[in-house]
Structure 1
Amino acid sequence: RALALGAVDCYAKSGGGMGLDDAGMLAQMIREAAKVRFSPRAPAAAPSTITRIAAEVRGTLADRPALIAIGSSTGGVEALQTVLSGFPADCPPTLIVQHINARFAPAVARTLDQSCPPKIMIAEPDMPLKDGHVYLAPGDDRHLSIGGSSTFHCKLRSGEPVSGHMPSVDVLFASVAEIARTIAQDEATCTVFGMPRAAINLGAARIVAPLGSIARHAFSKAA
């Protein structure tokens, strides 16, 4: 609930006191939190507003993508609520990697499922990707990516952290990079302008947009 209300991050301390690993991870989270630009929390969108946005998006579904991949980190849970609230209930299958501790992933999935039109769940190995469903990485020691060719499914595999994260957004994006167009959140609406900045600096972002318009761009024929 704290994450949904705008908390920068949550840390699940291991049992038996704080060890060196705990201290290192906590220090990193504090460094990331120090980069956050705080602003007053905007009120949640009214149901009528969500319905209108979903209707606008649905009007472009003839040209919609086969699937959508989303990566988010610090401040990402609140941003995900904003973006997914603009998705119609029959959106293309969507995979999400949120850099978060596994202990909090189920609660995040439940919160998003209760407030957004699509069905939102924790991804499981070989789970087939279906319209109207959003699959959130478990947040444990497995990376989430897309498997399959003619039909797609969730692929979860163990490994080392990538770019300091497990699961890593990089792994998910690498699995769709050759067929994807990239939308990056603009600096003005970011809690921390980190991953979007990296995509923009690499020239990988086809569109740079405010958070509130990302859902529209995801389904836009011109995107």
Structure 2
Amino acid sequence: MKFLITHQSQLSLARVRRAITAVLPQAQLLTATSLTDAYNLSEHHEPHCVLISETLANLPECELLFSLLGILKLTCVVLTEGKTGADVHSLPPATPKVPETELELHIGQIVQAAGRTVPATKLDPKREGSVADYDPNKLILIGASTGGIDALITIAQHFAEDCPPVLIVQHTGGSFARSLIRLLNSACRATVTPAEEGAAARTGHIYLAPDDRYHLTLAQRRRPYIHLQSGGLISGHRPSIDALFMSAVPMAANVTAALLTGMGKDGAAGLTELRRAGAQTIGQDQHTSVVYGMPRVAMEMGGVGQQLPLGAIGPALLAASTTKVRA
């Protein structure tokens, strides 16, 4: 059986290794001291079980790792510092928590849980036929934060090779941008790629900021193109959803924008300005939001044209980008 132990403390890594090998001498053990290493090891080695410290599990960036583990159907266990541990906001439901000092007592249960795990299945992008012709001038913009990775995967499955250009800002650590791009690329038939300065926004492509050094924005000459804007944090973030949405206000008539689950208010002001300028705007509803923060603020500001459950947002974005409906 293969375990991945993820802990910021070398002493704790050694302690957990001893606890596992005392019960399972033949176990294969992988170790990581950062979420980046844990993500890469999980993606390429697919361990039966990932044990992660409570401290690392509480980092916002861990949401991406939890999403990957869910897709690969890998068992995850959080090692707590006490009997109960702190709440982990992005922790998937029913994820067990085990006190680090009592791990040896729970190895049998962990092995049983990992043994019941269904073999991983690849994401299955939706193969729905186009119901309309897309307007070549249309653009789709999406912003998301806490809970947004699973939401983006759900939406991305609707995007195919002929979809309008899509630009996405998801709040996540800069070192995880490339991992998120790979994850979304496996979820859809469109091409998901890091944005490049000056590149044209092309049909069938989804663009994300390559890291957290720049804001992902749009500029326009004769046609819209990508601009990686330098500068400080905007609405507390870089890349910022507000930066992307505000940059698209001059081309609002051709824009459909969605603001998804997330904490805070980034994107709310930008969505409101887009709607005022003539864009079609969508906010995720409270019931399907992990955190009903950003879309709530946008709703209160008057920036949400339609409030929709997550499952309806992908089709709605595409429907708003059509030029004529087929009979």
Q: Any idea what SS the aligned residue of 1:104 has?
A: helix
1:179 deviates by: 4.6
In structure 2, what residue type is equivalent to 1:87? Answer: F
Greater displacement, 58-67 / 207-216: 58-67
**Are 2:210 and 1:160 equivalent residues in the alignment?**
no
Shift in CA distance, 221/134, structure 1 to aligned 2, threshold 3 Å: closer
CA deviations 1:18-38 (Å, max 9, x no partner) are: xxxxxxxxxxxxxx964x696
1:95/1:134 contact within 8 Å kept: yes
Q: Any idea what SS the aligned residue of 1:115 has?
A: coil
Q: Any idea what SS the aligned residue of 1:61 has?
A: strand
Shift in CA distance, 205/44, structure 1 to aligned 2, threshold 3 Å: farther
1:100/1:139 contact within 8 Å kept: no
1:63/1:219 contact within 8 Å kept: no
CA distance in 2, matches of 1:222, 1:110: 25
CA distance in 1, matches of 2:167, 2:229: 15
Q: Which has the higher contact order (CA 8 A, sep 6+)?
A: 1
CA distance in 1, matches of 2:234, 2:197: 20
Q: Any idea what SS the aligned residue of 1:120 has?
A: strand
Q: Any idea what SS the aligned residue of 1:215 has?
A: helix
Computed over aligned residues only, the root mean square deviation of the Cα atoms, in angstroms, reads 3.2
Unaligned runs of 5+ in 2: 1-38, 44-56, 63-86, 96-119, 249-273, 323-327
Shift in CA distance, 131/10, structure 1 to aligned 2, threshold 3 Å: same
**Are 2:181 and 1:109 equivalent residues in the alignment?**
yes
1:137 deviates by: 1.3
CA deviations 1:51-99 (Å, max 9, x no partner) are: 13xx2xx212345861111101112111111001011221111111111
Match of 2:139?
A: 67
Match of 2:61?
A: 10
CA deviations 1:132-164 (Å, max 9, x no partner) are: 000001232211111114211111111110111
Match of 2:312?
A: 213
Which of 194, 199, 209 is the matching residue for 1:137? 209
Q: Any idea what SS the aligned residue of 1:117 has?
A: coil
In structure 2, what residue type is equivalent to 1:10? Answer: E
1:64/1:219 contact within 8 Å kept: no
TM-score normalised according to structure 2 size: 0.53
**Are 2:300 and 1:201 equivalent residues in the alignment?**
yes
CA distance in 2, matches of 1:179, 1:45: 39
Shift in CA distance, 212/44, structure 1 to aligned 2, threshold 3 Å: farther
2:215/2:238 contact within 8 Å kept: yes
Q: Any idea what SS the aligned residue of 1:97 has?
A: strand
Which protein has the larger Cα radius of gyration, Structure 1 or Structure 2? 2
Shift in CA distance, 151/180, structure 1 to aligned 2, threshold 3 Å: same
- % identical aligned pairs: 35
Unaligned runs of 5+ in 1: 12-31
**Are 2:282 and 1:183 equivalent residues in the alignment?**
yes
Report the structure, 1 or 2, having the larger strand content: 2
In structure 1, what residue type is equivalent to 2:195? Answer: A
1:91/1:131 contact within 8 Å kept: yes
Which of 127, 130, 134 is the matching residue for 1:51? 127
CA deviations 1:80-136 (Å, max 9, x no partner) are: 110010112211111111111110000110111122110001111111111000000
Q: Any idea what SS the aligned residue of 2:192 has?
A: strand
